[in-house]
Amino acid sequence: MPNAGYEVSDTNRYSDKRVEACLVATKDWHVGDEMRFLTGMIATLDPEDDAELKKGNRDFSVMWSARKNCTCLFLGPARFANHDCDSNCQFIAHGPNSIIFKVVKEIKCGDEITVFYGNHYFGENNCECKCITCEKRGTGYFTIPSTTEEEDTRTNKRPTRTRKPPVAHEGLYNFV
């Protein structure tokens, strides 16, 4: 849509193996604006469909709906919104199965449109998060491992990051 105020673009920020999608503003957006053309719909999945998508490694648009208490397929351009721990938009319910975006921070033309997926979407406390905010803060994936001298001499190895497994079905798309 030429006047929608956004476009689907590509990014390699989150993977060095493949190009992924992102949403980029094509105009300035202001706090409180609703992006009515940036929509998403959900369709509930039965366990067999969910398993089939995971088996084929095609589950990138599958999410958990806390409201519906089930797995859903996320459809529409909104599915390309990437996470940021200090996002510039939030999801707003727009009927029983759809969402739009509400601007919570000023967005300039050319900025990526982001939303917050949840506190534990990328591991416990988002310890594996690769968003720009985490990179700037030195948190998430970009946390510098801390070690003691005793540990270094005892193991004679470089310190490594220890991560806990992600918390299942936490936070993302609780509006649905």
Residue 145 belongs to some domain of the structure: no
**CA 172 centroid distance within chain:** 8
- Number of structural domains the chain divides into: 1
Return the pLDDT at 48: 84
Tokens 């996470």 sit at which residue? 83
Residue 171 belongs to some domain of the structure: no
Element spanning 91, H or E: strand 89-93
Return the pLDDT at 87: 97
Return the pLDDT at 80: 94
| Segments of the chain with pLDDT less than 70 | 1-2, 56-60, 147-176
Burial class from Cβ neighbours inside 10 Å (0-12, 13-18, 19+) for residue 157 reads: exposed
Return the pLDDT at 70: 81
Return the pLDDT at 58: 62
Residue 175 belongs to some domain of the structure: no
Residue 14 belongs to some domain of the structure: yes
Residue 62 belongs to some domain of the structure: yes
23: left (phi over 0), alpha (psi -120 to 50) or beta: beta
Residue type, 109: C
Domain with residue 29: its CATH number is 2.170.270.10
Report pTM: 0.76
Residue 113 belongs to some domain of the structure: yes
Q: Give me the DSSP letters along 18-65.
A: S-EEEEEESS-B-TT-EEEEEEEEEEE--HHHHHHHHHTT--TTEEEE
Query: What value does the CA radius of gyration of the chain take, rounded to a whole number of Å?
Result: 18
- Expressed as residue numbers, the domain containing 43 is 6-118
Residue 22 belongs to some domain of the structure: yes
Question: Rounded to 5 degrees, what angle do the CA atoms 19, 23, 27 make?
Answer: 140
Residue type, 147: T
Element spanning 102, H or E: strand 98-103
**DSSP letter, residue 78:** G
Residue 54 belongs to some domain of the structure: yes
d(CA 50, CA 58): 10
Return the pLDDT at 175: 47
